Structure 1
Amino acid sequence: MASEDVKASESAVSTIVNLAEEAKLAREGVKAPGTALLNICKSLFAGGVAGGVSRTAVAPLERLKILLQVQNPHSIKYNGTIQGLKYIWRTEGLRGMFKGNGTNCARIVPNSAVKFFSYEEASKGILWFYRRQTGNDDAQLTPLLRLGAGACAGIIAMSATYPMDMVRGRLTVQTDKSPRQYRGIAHALSTVLKEEGPRALYKGWLPSVIGVIPYVGLNFAVYESLKDWLLKTKPFGLVEDNELGVATRLACGAAAGTFGQTVAYPLDVIRRRMQMVGWKDAASVVTGDGRGKTALEYTGMVDAFRKTVRHEGFGALYKGLVPNSVKVIPSIAIAFVTYEMVKDVLRVETRISD
């Protein structure tokens, strides 16, 4: 009996010591390993939900954008946003409006999760280095440093999920009249690997890397900088109790998305066209000489830029920009706000603004 009392006392002491240690770590700003891991999982989950919700909300516009980017200029089917959406609805119905969205979500959910989490971690690392370099422990991230953190996050997330993006592009472009059909994500991946080799899964990767730096970097930098400015200046009564409302955060996200995508859009067009290289069954895709429904021939990113501008003019680099702008404004805004709201619900202590 005495032995059991001793064991119980030792257990109680051990519990008290553990709780005291966790309290000490909390006071010092250090999370216990279990808590840190749980917060990482919650952060990844919040990023994934944000990506899935935001992309599904604008799926029809996403598909139209890709179709506009790669269509044959001598056989125009999609002539503008409204006409293009009506044409897809008339010829393919509701399923056509959301064609490729399953693949898109399968790509964007992990991409978004990795992107938001990578941004948080990159921000912490850059801020730590910046404070050491300046000797100021109270220094905060500047817009340029946020741009760097966002660029790092974009490159990591895009590289990790690029094969899914490549396959998504092909699934989106194919129609019911294509001679051969990709039956789904797995079938498309296996077919491309078998017929074109593993390198084909990364066609267009270079312009994607170059494009993701201003696009994702500016998204995060503009969003966070706008929020900081609003919180500091408190204009137009937009700030209440040092918090921004949902509508204000949506507006910040919309501004960030519009600015970032306008800068990076030509690279997105070139990336999409390079992804179609080697696929003879693409529907009305553009070739270097302007003919349609044959394999695209580009030797690289510079060659793709040169041939596109030479045969179709500079404006071809902005094909699909209007539906993309209409898509990006709500998409980026919804992604940022959804991410922060999900983290609030899950009670994750750190948000991207912190």
Structure 2
Amino acid sequence: MPRAFPPLEGSSKNRPLSPSLVESVAGFSAGVVSCLTVHPLDLLKNRLQLNTQTKSRRGDSFRILRHVVRDEGGVKALYRGLWPNMLGNSLGWGLYFLFYGKAKEVLQKRRAQGERLGTGEFFGASIFAGLLTGACTNPIWVVKTRMLERGANHPAAYKTMREGLAHVYSTRGLRGLWAGFVPSTLGVAHGAVQFAIYERLKHARGEQLGSMDKLTNWDFIYMSGGSKLLAGAITYPYQPIRARMQQYNAASQYSGLIDVLRKTWRNEGFLAFYKGVVPNTLRVIPTTIVTFVVYENTKYFLPRIFEGEQMAHDED
């Protein structure tokens, strides 16, 4: 699936789009498309992570899905919490790629002309982007976690995201809106590992082909999927811990991060830290592939479409 259109020749009068704007639009678009693709698996992962009553058992995923469809409003119940999830993903990816691109620009200026960034610099740029993005979007994830935790027919369920934000703030203050941020910072390592691997694969493949513009969608598929799978295997345990710190009754169940870790280990064992890993893997691999394919193609075509419109305007 090569990108079939060649770059457009821009006139000297054309004002190219800002790289930061391109990165943001590409990331935002990727977040929307990927979220719409696999939201039901996100709901399933969330329910598995918040199950503190039993140890992991075979068939848990099917039992949860059957319960949601049967008791919570049919198939549409699988899309409970879609809007905060879409907002969090699209805004999160948009901000992430914006901060990531800015960090790379700053680091590149410190390099000699034509010298490529190293793995450590990609890793550092990812850490920087992940921390800032997490700080900006954490309240959205708190509400999303709570909306996925309970069906719409539950008497205490949030009807809207605005209601959720207001309830969290009124009951737990600002601390509640940023609940789970500390384990989320551990997850920043996940993005850093993933992007470091992805960038190395991307540049190696680009050098092999002779140009980065020759990379195809198939290249983006295997590079993004492979880097995500490896990073996920290393860093997954922070996700169940974060979800438990963000749930409705977290304040009454746990006193903090260490308490969550201790009780989870004592009551459910080591495998509790990998609850939901199967639906999460089934969710994140296609999601990541869709995200990066949309991102790379938007980043490639958006400036060229803009240049084409500018040329047409100049000719008129």
TM tier, smaller: 0.7 to 0.9
Match status 1:316 vs 2:272: yes
Matching residue of 2:106: 125
Deviation at 1:87, TM superposition (A): 3.8
Match status 1:267 vs 2:248: no
Match status 1:253 vs 2:224: yes
Matching residue of 1:220: 195
Contact 2:220 2:293 survives alignment (8 Å): yes
2:83 to 80, 87, 102: 102
Deviation at 1:81, TM superposition (A): 3.8
* Runs of 5+ consecutive residues of structure 1 not aligned to the other structure: 1-21, 27-31, 281-286, 288-294, 350-354
Match status 1:164 vs 2:140: yes
Q: C-alpha distance in 1, partners of 2:62/2:219?
A: 28
Deviation at 1:35, TM superposition (A): 4.4
The Cα RMSD (Å) is 2.7
Deviation at 1:78, TM superposition (A): 9.1
Deviation at 1:80, TM superposition (A): 3.9
Matching residue of 2:263: 307
For residues 87 and 128 of structure 1, do their structure 2 counterparts lie closer, same or farther at Cα, with a shift above 3 Å needed? same
* Runs of 5+ consecutive residues of structure 2 not aligned to the other structure: 1-10, 306-316
Contact 2:80 2:152 survives alignment (8 Å): no
Matching residue of 1:112: 93
- Code of the residue aligned with 1:325 in structure 2: it is T
Q: C-alpha distance in 1, partners of 2:137/2:36?
A: 18
Match status 1:89 vs 2:69: yes
Q: 1:175 aligns to what SS in structure 2?
A: coil
1:47 to 14, 27, 43: 27
Q: Provide the identity percentage.
A: 29
Contact 2:23 2:94 survives alignment (8 Å): yes
- Code of the residue aligned with 2:245 in structure 1: it is M
For residues 77 and 191 of structure 1, do their structure 2 counterparts lie closer, same or farther at Cα, with a shift above 3 Å needed? farther
Deviation at 1:143, TM superposition (A): 1.8
Contact 2:56 2:271 survives alignment (8 Å): no
Deviation at 1:59, TM superposition (A): 0.4
Q: Which has the higher contact order (CA 8 A, sep 6+)?
A: 2
Deviation at 1:191, TM superposition (A): 1.1
Deviation at 1:253, TM superposition (A): 0.8
- Code of the residue aligned with 1:331 in structure 2: it is T
Contact 2:41 2:280 survives alignment (8 Å): yes
Match status 1:230 vs 2:211: no
Deviation at 1:86, TM superposition (A): 4.0
For residues 319 and 118 of structure 1, do their structure 2 counterparts lie closer, same or farther at Cα, with a shift above 3 Å needed? same
For residues 247 and 85 of structure 1, do their structure 2 counterparts lie closer, same or farther at Cα, with a shift above 3 Å needed? farther
- Code of the residue aligned with 2:149 in structure 1: it is V
Q: 2:158 aligns to what SS in structure 1?
A: coil
Deviation at 1:258, TM superposition (A): 1.3
Matching residue of 1:6: none
Contact 1:67 1:78 survives alignment (8 Å): no
Contact 1:77 1:84 survives alignment (8 Å): no
- Code of the residue aligned with 1:224 in structure 2: it is E
- Code of the residue aligned with 1:108 in structure 2: it is N
TM-score (normalised: structure 1): 0.76
Q: 2:155 aligns to what SS in structure 1?
A: coil
Deviation at 1:150, TM superposition (A): 1.1
Matching residue of 2:294: 338
Contact 2:68 2:151 survives alignment (8 Å): no
Deviation at 1:226, TM superposition (A): 1.1
Match status 1:62 vs 2:42: yes
Q: C-alpha distance in 2, partners of 1:241/1:183?
A: 46
For residues 178 and 242 of structure 1, do their structure 2 counterparts lie closer, same or farther at Cα, with a shift above 3 Å needed? closer
Deviation at 1:242, TM superposition (A): 6.0
Q: 1:197 aligns to what SS in structure 2?
A: helix
Q: C-alpha distance in 2, partners of 1:273/1:242?
A: 43
Deviation at 1:218, TM superposition (A): 1.7
Q: C-alpha distance in 1, partners of 2:80/2:169?
A: 22
Q: 2:253 aligns to what SS in structure 1?
A: coil
Q: C-alpha distance in 1, partners of 2:260/2:208?
A: 46
Q: C-alpha distance in 1, partners of 2:224/2:119?
A: 15
Q: C-alpha distance in 1, partners of 2:87/2:56?
A: 30
For residues 177 and 339 of structure 1, do their structure 2 counterparts lie closer, same or farther at Cα, with a shift above 3 Å needed? same
Contact 1:253 1:334 survives alignment (8 Å): no
- With 176-185 and 68-77 compared, the bigger mean Cα shift is at 68-77
Could you say which structure has the larger radius of gyration? 1
Deviation at 1:138, TM superposition (A): 3.2
